[in-house]
Amino acid sequence: MRTIVTLPGDGIGKVVLDETIRVLNAAGFEAEYVEGDIGWEFWCNEGNPLPQRTLDLIAEHKISLFGAITSKPKDEAFGELSPDLKEKGLIYSSPIVGLRQHFGLDICLRPCRTYTGNPLNFIRRGPNDCIEEPEVDVAIFRQNTEGLYGGVEWSNPPEQVYDALMTHPKFKSNFGSAPVEDVSVSTRIFTKKYTERIVRAAFEHARKYGYKSVTVCEKPNVIRETSGMMYKMAQQIQKEDFHSIELWNTNIDAQMMWLTKNPENYGVIVAGNMFGDIVSDGFAGLIGGLGFACSAQYNPETGIGVFEPTHGSAPKYADYPVSIVNPIAMVESANMMLDFINEQDLAKKIKKAVADVVTEGKVRTYDMAKMSGRADVVKNGAASTTQMADAIIAKL
Ligand code: NAI
Ligand code: MG
């Protein structure tokens, strides 16, 4: 039997994960679950939100389902640290970013596909004032370990760094007159190995699932070195190995406009870390938002994969006596896990059950019912997290 590491984390992460495991069990997925410690509680009590024992568990079992964690700014994090740890010079950093870096989970896939009948679907005005509901079916490949989220940054950079920056004529002319203590630098580093890996993953996905295009969504006309490298590499890879798939090139800013104008035109999209984050949230908004946005992140060499909804811990809903949040993003993330471990039939079965519930429209969490997220929404007709999971189970 398979062992799956569960990483519930904080806030609503715990409930969406519990409900998802109920769905997996009901669908007949045979697995043993072991829970890994991650999140705020472990930062406060141990000074580490991602303890070594959790890393060991993931390294051993390879496949994890992750709920969500709470992150707070540095100073606030320090304030909540247990008093006996305050002298240790600990600095808080996000455990989910840490997890991606530690295991080199460089491929992040975020699919955004319209659910028929979802009242949250994007609509637009068409010719003669008719209302159109374009069908979105996009797979976003986000480079997950490098770029602007790579963590190589300084405020008041040390001397060698500052001196090196001063050797760049543009740094010297544009920033050279600012006092060094007023300068903050965040780097955007791309490497060939991981750029090639994300671009190839995007093309392979397009071929496997019959998408006609791969769009590089960056900004190569301005960010010439990094975005430029990704686009050039995509041109080469397309020419060598993927003739039948079209390669498109959009700028992130223009893409954010076009995705509401004609989202149905796009297939696979590939981007660096930050632009991938942005464009995937943009597309997620067209198919129902955070209650529906799922993701897979994995390292193709080691086979380690972490599957998680893109939403956070939503602390304001975490303490409601009856949980109201939508578990679909977490359930769909589990479906991505099933696909990854070659349990496609089970994944299909659960996907169909989710789609049936959404299309039927009888059971809707508060977000789908377009209510504001108060504790009394269930009294007013919205489904609770548990009732939504029950409805999915009933369709299996
Ligand atoms: P969030 O994603 O937790 O919540 C934002 C809002 O989206 C919620 O207030 C709620 O209205 C809605 N929402 C989120 N998940 C939903 C669901 N499943 N069903 C229905 N509605 C849902 O983002 P927020 O409030 O900015 O951050 C809260 C905490 O989560 C922060 O500490 C943040 O650092 C952390 N976070 C963690 C992430 C992760 O674990 N991967 C990702 C994003 C934020
Ligand atoms: Mg994001």
pLDDT tens-digit map of 345-369: 999 999 999 999 999 999 999 999 9
Distance (angstroms) between ligand 1 centre and the Cα of 302 equals: 29
Distance (angstroms) between ligand 2 centre and the Cα of 396 equals: 31
CA distance 290 to 281: 8
Distance (angstroms) between ligand 1 centre and the Cα of 314 equals: 4
Contact 392, 351 (CB under 8 A): no
Please list, in sequence order, all residues whose beta carbon lies within 8 angstroms of the beta carbon of residue 176, skipping any fewer than 6 positions away.
166
Q: Extract the tokens encoding 4.
A: 């799956």
User: What size, in residues, is the chain?
Assistant: 396
Long-range contacts of 317-321 (CB under 8 A, 24+ apart): 317/11, 317/12, 317/373, 318/10, 318/11, 318/12, 320/375, 321/375
Distance (angstroms) between ligand 2 centre and the Cα of 69 equals: 13
Question: Probe ligand 1: pick from 70, 74, 96, 313, max atoms within 8 Å of CB?
Answer: 313
Q: Ligand 1: which residues within 6 Å by Cβ? A: 68-71, 96, 290-291, 311-316, 325-326, 329, 367, 373
Sheet holding 107-113, edge to edge: 31-35, 2-9, 63-68, 304-309, 294-299, 107-113, 137-143, 268-271, 213-218, 246-251
DSSP class of 181:
G
Residues of the chain with pLDDT under 70: none
Q: How far is CA 111 from CA 166, 302, 317, in A?
A: 42, 22, 26
Q: Which atom of ligand 1 is nearest to the CA of 316?
A: 9
Indicate which ligand has the atom closest to the C-alpha of 14. 1
Q: Whose CA is nearest to atom 27 of ligand 1?
A: 312
Q: Which atom of ligand 1 is nearest to the CA of 94?
A: 34
Distance (angstroms) between ligand 2 centre and the Cα of 176 equals: 33
Residue-wise pLDDT for 187-202, tens only, equals 999 999 999 999 999 9
Contact 310, 349 (CB under 8 A): no
In the block, residue with structure tokens 């305050």:
86
Closest-CA residue to 313 (of 67, 81, 94): 67
Distance (angstroms) between ligand 1 centre and the Cα of 313 equals: 5
Please list, in sequence order, all residues whose beta carbon lies within 8 angstroms of the beta carbon of residue 174, skipping any fewer than 6 positions away.
none
In the block, residue with structure tokens 């949980």:
323
Q: What is the pLDDT of residue 59?
A: 98
Q: What is the pLDDT of residue 74?
A: 85
